[in-house]
Amino acid sequence: MTGKTRVQLICIISFWIYACSASAQEMPKDTLTGKVHQIEKVTVTARRLPNKVTTAVPIQSISQQDISQLGIQNMADAVRRFAGANVKDYGGIGGLKTVSIRNMGAAHTAVSYDGIAVSNCQAGQIDIGRFSLDNVSTLSLAIGQTEELLQSARLYASAGVLSIETEKPHFEEGRNAAFQVRLRGGSFGYVTPSVRWWQQIGSRTRLAVDANYMRADGNYPFTLVNGKYVTKEKRNNSSIHSHQGEATLYHTFKDESELDVKGYYFYSERGLPGAVTLYNPLSDETLWDENAFVQACYRKRFSPRWSLQAQAKYTYGWNKYRDEGKEYTEGYYQEHHRQNEYYLSAAVLYRPLEALSFSLAQDGVINKLRNSFPECPFPTRYTSISAFNARYRKSWLTATAALVHTATSERVKAGTAPDDFHRFAPSLSVSMQPWSGELLFLRLMYKSTFRLPTFNDLYYYRMGNRNLRPEKANEYNIGITWNKNELPLFDYVSVTLDGYYNDVTDKIVAFPTTYAWKMANYGKVHAAGVDATVVTAVPLHKDIKLVLSGSYTWQKAIDLTDPESKNYKDQLPYTPLHSGNASAILETPWVNAGYSAIGVSKRYYLAQNLPENEIDGYLEHTLSLSREFTLGGCKLQLQAEMANLTNEQYDVIKYYPMPGRSWRLTGTLKF
């Protein structure tokens, strides 16, 4: 570790310890009585808009209510409804699911779980399929960065943030505990029981515990097209068994500062069905995953001018891969990977004027990787990330600027370590409201980001390259947003329209060499596109409402790496020119109905845009019906869902067929 990086990490630790000790300092008491005054509880019920029209960067969100009523079955299905999100899905319940923003790559997209980033230094991308939707309160996607100034430097350093916010305990009048039991069952042997326990502990502490188990054989039928031959096949080796649990403690101190502590555990064993090629659907691959973390977040508002947030996290990740076959000497091939991360973050917000705010965030990260490969270098990476931010907000204008500095130093036990690295990355966003009486906003954004080579990029057996440079990206966005309430036929109408341009240089790809494939900085990509969203609510009767929403993305992402190559200026693989979705929710006193459709145009699965490399587009429909009953002091909700209503046969990734028509029934008892 260099002297500079060591000093930065010591400063981070000192800053975080100071933040934690600040809870001993109480806010000044009431100057009149020295007592705490409690006001009567007020409950406000309203639907969260899926896009924010006042922000300088595109932010979309979906609530727990909409997730339930639309029959959304997993995290990937929910994220697919965001304009500008590219989701790769390798099929089935247990298939890998990753998200990237505007075709910049999954490693450029941060995933935040209750405000703290989820990490995977080995592969650089997060499998969002391992997160359950059962306890999600809000799911949001920010392109650029979220609008919150008091956040970690790691989130500032990302090209975009997928934020998962879990539901906090809340209790009915006179109660201090709440319980929920849920049972889901559906096609392909899918069964998922889950439980929830909320408990009030004293007047200032709440506890939330969630746990679930899931199993499925996943052997769904599909249609295989091979030239002029069409056959009916069945997916195999798609079974999955997983269990997940988390417990969160929420505590409010006497000075109104807050401390949240969360423990999370996930384990899965799943078959990897593999690609279906040349009538060979067989696969003997299995993957075991184990992920656990403990995280803490402390927030304190010293005064209207000063606020502080401190975070700490330890993450453990382990996986085992096994492939059986006669081609292996011992009849099988097996590899293990284990990674550990130690993370500290502190951020302070200062507001010298009503219209002007500053924040400074400092993160320190230590990552370690161990695996069973021959000549494993056992790398350890030390990372320091600093972010300085300024925001001016006054009447018609909001302007935010940020400067992020990243420094890394790596150590290995075998071979040569990569050179130390440091880089500055600026960003600027502006939102303008031309007319004060109209919720019409113009917004502009520029952001410079990069992503470091992952441990796999640098050290993977025979493929790794320790001379890789970081993958650099620039984002540009210009948009217009509009919201109008209480129109003659609508409760509200909200519209956003954004045009964007991204360029990525030094793209890290696997490149063929004389004897084997090797990771290399060999890529230059330009992406231009348009994202549009609309949402409205139509009151059909006193107790009946229709909520309509939709989004559309046009995207042209081309490869500009080599003017001499055959795929120069061709659309990137798995990038549709057109994609979008539409949904409708009908709320009535008797039953709630939800309908949604997701559509994607044709794509190419190889670099050259040739007809033989095309993947057909698809349009998938989902229908949901739900009803809630009151049984004494309990509430019972029943829901039925039909996914892929028209039994559309399609691939998201070539040779990985997706399930056809499927059903799911859910019963939820709250007491």
Tell whether 412 is covered by a domain: yes
pLDDT band per the 50, 70, 90 thresholds, residue 514:
low
Residue with tokens 């009030």: 200
pLDDT of residue 67 exceeding 60: yes
pLDDT in tens, 222-238: 877 777 777 788 888 88
Q: How far apart are CA 622 and CA 574, in angstroms?
A: 23
Q: How far apart are CA 667 and CA 595, in angstroms?
A: 19
Largest CA distance in the chain: 85
Tell whether 26 is covered by a domain: no
Q: What percent of the chain has pLDDT over 90?
A: 60
Q: Which of these ranges, 90-99, 195-204, 567-576, has the smallest mean pLDDT?
A: 90-99
Q: How far apart are CA 648 and CA 269, in angstroms?
A: 28
pLDDT of residue 63 exceeding 70: yes
pLDDT of residue 43 exceeding 90: no
Tell whether 28 is covered by a domain: no
pLDDT of residue 36 exceeding 50: no
pTM: 0.88
pLDDT of res. 325: 85
pLDDT in tens, 73-127: 888 889 989 999 988 877 667 677 889 898 888 889 999 999 999 999 988 889 8
Tell whether 32 is covered by a domain: no
CA angle 607, 611, 616 (to 5 degrees): 90
pLDDT of residue 590 exceeding 60: yes
Query: Which structural domain range is residue 530 located in?
Result: 3-19+47-670
Amino acid at 361: A
pLDDT of residue 517 exceeding 80: no
Q: Check: CB of residue 299 under 8 Å from CB of residue 308.
A: yes
Helices (H), 95-163: 153-156
pLDDT of res. 20: 43
DSSP category for residue 515? S
pLDDT band per the 50, 70, 90 thresholds, residue 281:
low
Tell whether 31 is covered by a domain: no
For residue 393, give both structure tokens: 């907000």
What are the φ and ψ backbone dihedral angles of 277, each rounded to 5 degrees? Answer: -135, 140
Q: Give the mean pLDDT of the chain.
A: 87
Q: Residues 45-60: what's their mean pLDDT? A: 72
Tell whether 200 is covered by a domain: yes
CA 335 to chain centre: 28
Tell whether 104 is covered by a domain: yes
pLDDT in tens, 648-661: 988 888 888 888 89
pLDDT in tens, 346-386: 999 999 999 999 999 999 999 999 988 878 899 999 999 99
Q: Nearest-CA neighbor of 387 among 55, 146, 58?
A: 146
pLDDT of res. 501: 96
Q: Residues 511-515: what's their mean pLDDT? A: 63
pLDDT in tens, 238-253: 889 999 999 999 999 9
pLDDT of res. 19: 43
Q: How far is the CA of 36 from the CAs of 173, 253, 256, 617, in angstroms?
A: 20, 13, 11, 61
pLDDT band per the 50, 70, 90 thresholds, residue 633:
confident
CATH of the domain at 164: 2.40.170.20
DSSP-based three-state secondary structure for 459:
helix
Burial class (CB in 10 A: 0-12, 13-18, 19+), 563: exposed
Tally of domains in the chain: 1
Q: Nearest-CA neighbor of 317 among 295, 336, 335, 340?
A: 340
pLDDT of res. 14: 45
For residue 282, give both structure tokens: 């067989």
Tell whether 593 is covered by a domain: yes
Q: How far apart are CA 528 and CA 579, in angstroms?
A: 14
pLDDT band per the 50, 70, 90 thresholds, residue 663:
very high
pLDDT of residue 518 exceeding 60: yes
